[in-house]
Amino acid sequence: GESVGLHLPTLSVQEGDNSIINCAYSNSASDYFIWYKQESGKGPQFIIDIRSNMDKRQGQRVTVLLNKTVKHLSLQIAATQPGDSAVYFCAENTPDYGGSQGNLIFGKGTKLSVKP
Amino acid sequence: NAGVTQTPKFQVLKTGQSMTLQCAQDMNHEYMSWYRQDPGMGLRLIHYSVGAGITDQGEVPNGYNVSRSTTEDFPLRLLSAAPSQTSVYFCASSYSAGRDQPQHFGDGTRLSIL
């Protein structure tokens, strides 16, 4: 079946450096993507989303890049801080899964560790 | 700013017992859903609802029931608990049932089945 996956299960960066978390998706019909952050003991927290008619979207310290040619999504975090330490999930929404509903398919997550 | 509230936060059950996980949202969201999160598996959709009175199955619905009698509440029922249902359960909601809507999650219920 279709799935969303991540290239790196863990990522360790130095405080102040930029972080890049990658995600591959397999369904070319997917047209909406979300990045979530999950801290220990908490639910996933929405970070940023992007629609397939865009290839880049920026938020506060975060940028999501979408490359539809290779079906790749990335989350860039600028000036990574200790508070950014968490598990990051990408999720996709496709017309093939759940029809018109907003059902999401989640990747397995990448753990980001920020070293002081 | 309650958002999505889940109760209880922790629960231990014996095999064969039944229980209901509660989920409530105060954002007047139409769409609500339940996921389970297992190590190495990501989040998997159990059931979802696009509005009061309407529910449907997700990827892993077996052993679970849901109902949506009000917009605010979306309880998940375990009919006869099994050790395979040991997991962390998350409820989520979004403004409408349309696509392009980020879902907002509760903080989860950690369930252990002995």
Residue-wise pLDDT tens digits, B2-61: 799 999 999 999 999 999 999 999 999 999 999 999 977 789 999 999 999 999 999 899
| pLDDT confidence of residue A7 | 45
Q: Contacts of residue B102 in chain A, CB cutoff 8 Å?
A: 34, 46, 49
What pLDDT is recorded for position A102?
Answer: 62
Looking at residue A27, its pLDDT comes to: 84
pLDDT of residue A108: 84
Average pLDDT value for chain A: 87
Residues of A in contact with B33 (CB under 8 A): 103
Tell if the CB–CB gap between A100 and B97 is shorter than 8 Å. yes
Q: Rounded to an integer, what distance in angstroms lies between the CA atom of residue B44 and that of residue B60?
A: 7
- Residue labelled with tokens 């014996």: B14
Q: Does B8 sit behind a cis peptide bond, omega within 30 degrees of 0 on the bond before it?
A: yes
Query: Tokens 């330490």 belong to which residue?
Result: A85
Asked if residue B105 lies in contact with residue A43, where contact means CB atoms within 8 angstroms, the answer is: yes
Mean pLDDT rounded to a whole number for chain B: 93
Nearest to A108 among B42, B94, B106 (CB): B42
Average pLDDT over every residue of A57-77: 96
The widest CA-to-CA distance across chain A, in whole angstroms, is 45
Whether B50 and chain A come into contact, CB under 8 Å, resolves to yes
Q: What is the 3-state secondary structure (H, E, C) of chain A?
A: CCCEECCCCEEEEECCCCEEEEEEECCCCCCEEEEEEECCCCCCEEEEEEECCCCEEECCCEEEEEECCCCEEEEEECCCCHHHCEEEEEEEECCCCCCCCCCCEECCCEEEEEEC
Q: Nearest chain A residue to B107 by CA: give it.
A: A43
Residues linked to residue A73 through DSSP beta bridges, in sequence order: A23, A66
| Span B76-95, pLDDT tens digits | 999 999 999 999 999 999 98
**Token pair listed for B111:** 């369930």
DSSP codes, B36-71: EEETTTEEEEEEEEEETTEEEE-SS-TTEEE--SSS
What is the pairing mode between strands A32-38 and A19-25?
unpaired
State how far residue B8 is from chain A, nearest Cα, in angstroms.
14
Q: What is the pLDDT of residues A84-103, one digit of tens each?
A: 999 999 999 877 655 555 67
The answer to which of A36-45, A65-74, A77-86, A102-111 has the lowest mean pLDDT is A102-111
- CB within 8 Å: A49 and B102: yes
